[in-house]
Structure formats: structure tokens, C-alpha cells
Amino acid sequence: MDIRPNHTIYINNINDKIKKEELKRSLYALFSQFGQIVDIVAMKTMPMRGQAFVVFKELTAATNALRQLQGFPFYNKPMRIQYAKTDSEVIAKVKGTYGDKEKKKEKKKKAQESAAAANLAKKPAVVSDYPTMMHVPDNPPNYILFLSNLPEETNEMMLSMLFNQFPGFKEVRLVPGKHDIAFVEFESDTQAGVAKDALQGFRITATCAMKITYAKK
């Protein structure tokens, strides 16, 4: 149990029915609120199912994620999180791809992913990025938010994970047949406003900056 703090966290007790790509996207959406993610490793092989590794750029981000998401109900199963063992072959390999020797080989392949990771990690906190979003016509404040410009792969789980970090969160409602919009309900106008400001322009994928307005009453 006494494993030294590490940039990489190891997660198990994950629902093993989730497809690898969806799992990685959902982990990204959930863990990127704590800091820049360098990589996520999830494998399909039987011994590794239900497990994943999330590699953070900063040690403090890994520590905060471990503390705050311990036992988080992820796809209806509580996550078990610990620091990865430093001698883990998988992690050594992942970290190696970001070492100086390997950087040239991986540069083209990883450049876009890293840029997307940086955007995901920075977007909610960088207030200076928001004015471009502010010209979106808005309605009077109320407790339901209207989300638009969502990527095609967005699902209820991803949005719930993003918004339930804010007090007063009640539910996410998707619109059948329309993948790019959704509604999020809070207990009060004020609580909805906090989430709206914090996640305005958040990028679930590199190309789609989420637009948030108050829903029409």
C-alpha cells in the first residue's frame, strides 16, 4: 500500500464492458480538470481489462485527482485509485515516449494529442479565452443550462462527470437525434451560473469548444 507519489495514477475496478476509445475519452473528460494529462493507457487484453493508467504532467495534479476521485462512481462502479508502481513496465514505456531520446520519433504522432491535452487542461481556468464566447446570445439567468457545439461522441456520462463537480448539479438531458446539444439542470440560478462560467469554451475534443447559455424558460 505504501507506494511513493508518482506522476502516474493506476485505476482499477473499471467497468470492463466499456470500449477502449470511449473509456479513454471519458477518463480524459473526468481527469483533465485536475491538470494537463500527458497520456492515458487502457488495454483490451484480458489481464488488463477494467484497469487504466493516467499520466499527469504535474505531480500535484496526480495527487489531487487521486484524493478527489477515489471511489467516484464511474460507469456505475466505484473507482479504486493509487499511485502507479515506479517499476511498472507499461508506465516506463509511456514515460519513455516523452523522454528526450524518443521525442523525435513520437513528435508528429503526439503533437496533436499534446496540443489537445493542453487545451483541455487549460481551458476551464483561462479566463482570457472566454471573451470570444461571450457574444453568444444569452437568455435571462435560470437553473437550466443549454449546451451547444458538442462533438458527436459526447454522451451523458461525459457531461455528468464534467458538471457534477459543481454544487447543485441535478441532471444532464440529451436531445434524441441531436448529438451536438444538451441541457444541464442545477438546483438554483446561481449554481448554474458558476458552472456556466467555469466550463464556457471547454473542449471535450480538440476541435469543439462547448458553448453554454441559459436555457429559454
How confident is the model over 150-209, as pLDDT tens digits?
Answer: 988 788 888 888 898 888 999 999 988 888 999 999 999 999 999 998 888 887 777 788
Q: For residue 111, count CB atoms less than 10 angstroms from its CB and return exposed for 0-12, middle for 13-18, buried for 19 or more.
A: exposed
Over the Cα atoms of the chain, what is R_g?
Answer: 18
Candidates 56, 17, 19; CA nearest to 34 is 56
Q: pLDDT under 50 in the chain at which residues?
A: 1, 87-88, 97-98, 100-102, 105, 123-135
Grid cell listed for 214 = 441559459
How much is the pTM?
0.50
Q: In this prediction, what percent of the chain has a pLDDT beyond 90?
A: 29
Kindly list the structural domains of the chain, giving each domain's residue range(s) and its CATH number in brackets, ordered by start: 8-91 (3.30.70.330), 144-214 (3.30.70.330)
DSSP state of 216: P
Residue 20 contacts residue 66 (beta carbons within 8 Å): no
Q: Mind giving me the DSSP string for 141-191?
A: P-SEEEEES--TT--HHHHHHHHTTSTTEEEEEEETTEEEEEEEEESSHHH
